[in-house]
Amino acid sequence: MQKIYPTAKEALDGLLFDGMLIAAGGFGLCGIPELLIAAIRDAGTKELVIASNNAGVDDFGLGILLKTRQIKKMISSYVGENAEFMRQYLSGELELEFNPQGTLAERMRAGGAGIPGFYTRTGVGTVIAEGKEHKDFNGQTYILEQGIFADLAIVKAWKADTSGNLVFRKTARNFNLPAATCGKVCVAEVEEIVPVGALDPDHIHLPGIYVHRLVQGEHEKRIEQRTVRKKEA
């Protein structure tokens, strides 16, 4: 099965449709599928529901899809670095489903494992629990959370082999792994593609069975918050 595509646009060909649910990897601007996000913007696909830890910043990452009004709803755990996100949410232009960060990761993982729902204590007694089923286990109250089953997963990895086995680099693994598993189709952008057998099997983070399409490209890797120390005299 040929998984390698020459461009992000071609890797998404035939997969995009209005109103779809997309699971996107990344944390802040670390490990985000920036090439695929740009290709979705250029495709003009709208009314998107996106499950992602956050929405990038105003002019990068998923923030560029907010700028073009292509996102209808975000399923996220943190949105504090994006002024346009805040403006759209407060004005009622954007729907938001807040999730505790661990719950969001587990919802993606559950979807990837074929688990439709699970109980967690996180959020009990808060607005997160409103409208959700409550159940007691061993004297403790839990709420029911649903697994995420996305139409498409877009992720960013460091290396891949030609069969789609992925290696993520350090903290860039973040939400990429659970996001990749919960999509009906997973498209991964990578920095390098190597032949099958070149990756140590013990170093593979995501088996190629989860990855349907690959694209290699150059990445900006913008730093979200840069803190530097003053040079000593």
Q: Is the dihedral of CA 199, 205, 209, 210 positive or negative?
A: negative
Q: What's the average model confidence in pLDDT over 217-223?
A: 86
Q: What sign has the CA pseudo-torsion 99, 180, 86, 57?
A: positive
Q: Tell whether domain 10-216 is in CATH 3.40.1080.10.
A: yes
Domain coordinates in residue numbering, the chain: 10-216
Alpha helices in the chain (DSSP H): 8-11, 34-43, 63-67, 83-90, 101-112, 176-181
Q: Is 16 exposed, middle or buried (0-12, 13-18, 19+ CB in 10 A)?
A: middle
Terminal-residue alpha carbon distance, the chain: 60
pLDDT at 229: 86
Residue whose C-alpha is closest to residue 62's, from 23, 109, 97: 23
Flag whether pLDDT at 185 surpasses 80: yes
Q: Residue 120 pLDDT more than 80?
A: yes
Q: How much is the pLDDT for 54?
A: 92
- pLDDT, averaged across the chain: 95
- pLDDT, tens digit, for every residue of 140-155? 999 999 999 999 999 9
Q: pLDDT band for position 161 (50/70/90)? A: very high
* For the chain, percent of residues with pLDDT exceeding 70: 100
Q: Of how many residues is the chain composed?
A: 233
pLDDT at 79: 79
Predicted local distance difference test score (pLDDT) of residue 155 = 98
Q: Within 10 Å of residue 82's Cβ, how many Cβ atoms?
A: 25
Q: Given a cut of 90, is residue 223 above it in pLDDT?
A: no
| Confidence (pTM) | 0.94
pLDDT of residue 131: 96
